[in-house]
Structure 1
Amino acid sequence: MRKRSIKNTRVNAEVQHELTNIIQRGIKDPRVSQWTSVVAAVVAPDLKTAKAYVSVLGDAKVKEDTIIGLKSAEGYIRRELAKSLNMRNTPEITFILDESIEYGVEMSKKIDEVNKDLHYEDENDA
């Protein structure tokens, strides 16, 4: 059981790395934002399916267009993935928008604002 999870972790990391390269260098679709990164890839143990979590910098329209562009380029992406990875099966990829990075940035801004307000109040009390 332990070997399986180590292998799966390695496969996930390799797929994530290759997907990032393919999206950054190979996709010419104007709908796919240049600010797209693959945050994680989760490949099923049977290697037939994979979920690719992508982060896209931009507004809702840019994010939506990028996901549509990635879905339309799925055949090309799978072919490129098959060329770069030596796997028995090339997984069918589902692209999922991951907004955790933007959420983290937004929360960080809010924390900074609160800290700035607290610091300002401390100076006025002195």
Structure 2
Amino acid sequence: MRSKTKSVSAKAPSQRMLRIGELIRHKLSELLSRGEIHDDVLASHVITIPEVRLTPDLKLATVYVMPLGGNDVRPVIQALAKNKKFIRSEVAAALNLRYAPDLRFREDETFEEATRIDRLLDSERVRRDVEKKD
């Protein structure tokens, strides 16, 4: 007999997950823009945070980051991970949750993926296929 519940990975994020993810994203953006995280690497980069994804139990938040220009991603992620304790305490103060989510920093690859798709759509092979249908 099959289980009536769907797997967790197939579920869309709940409104609460999305709302808390946005609150975390705004708080992190505020910390970075005001220079409240005292780190030379973070101070020398302009960092964008396009998305924060939470697990359904709200215990783990994956923060996607990208320095402006897309260069030097690894040092930025290492600097954020080094300052994770401070960042988590600041996020916890801004959220009204029983437990502050653990933060995991990852490179945002959506820009690279969008560029790859644009190149693919501009390729001669795709152009020929589109012309055949007309």
Q: TM-score, normalised by structure 2?
A: 0.67
8 A Cα contact 1:41 1:52, kept in partner: yes
Partner deviation per Cα, 1:23-71 (whole Å, 9 max, x = no partner): 22211211124311111001112121110001112464x2111111000
1:28-43 equivalent positions in 2, closer than 5 A: 28-32=38-42, 33-43=44-54
Count of residue pairs brought into register by the alignment: 108
Counterpart of 2:18? 9
Counterpart of 1:122? none
Counterpart of 1:123? none
Q: What's the Cα RMSD here?
A: 2.5
- What is the alpha-carbon distance in structure 2 between the residues aligned to residue 75 and residue 100 of structure 1? 27
8 A Cα contact 1:55 1:101, kept in partner: no
Cα 1:91–1:100 change in 2 (3 A) is same
What stretches of structure 2 of length at least 5 have no aligned partner?
1-12, 124-134
Q: Which amino acid aligns with 2:39?
A: D
Cα 1:73–1:104 change in 2 (3 A) is same
Q: TM-score, normalised by structure 1?
A: 0.71
8 A Cα contact 2:17 2:58, kept in partner: no
The answer to whether structure 1 residue 55 and structure 2 residue 33 are counterparts is no
- Residue 83 of structure 1 is aligned with which of 79, 93, 97? 93
Cα 1:57–1:102 change in 2 (3 A) is farther
Please list every run of at least 4 consecutive aligned residues from structure 1 whose deviation after the TM superposition is greater than 6 angstroms: 105-108
**Identity of counterpart residues, as a percentage?**
29
- What is the alpha-carbon distance in structure 1 between the residues aligned to residue 39 and residue 112 of structure 2? 23
- What is the alpha-carbon distance in structure 2 between the residues aligned to residue 87 and residue 69 of structure 1? 26
1:45-124 equivalent positions in 2, closer than 5 A: 45-58=56-69, 60=71, 62-101=72-111, 104=114
- What is the alpha-carbon distance in structure 2 between the residues aligned to residue 59 and residue 19 of structure 1? 19
Offset at residue 95 of structure 1 (A): 0.2
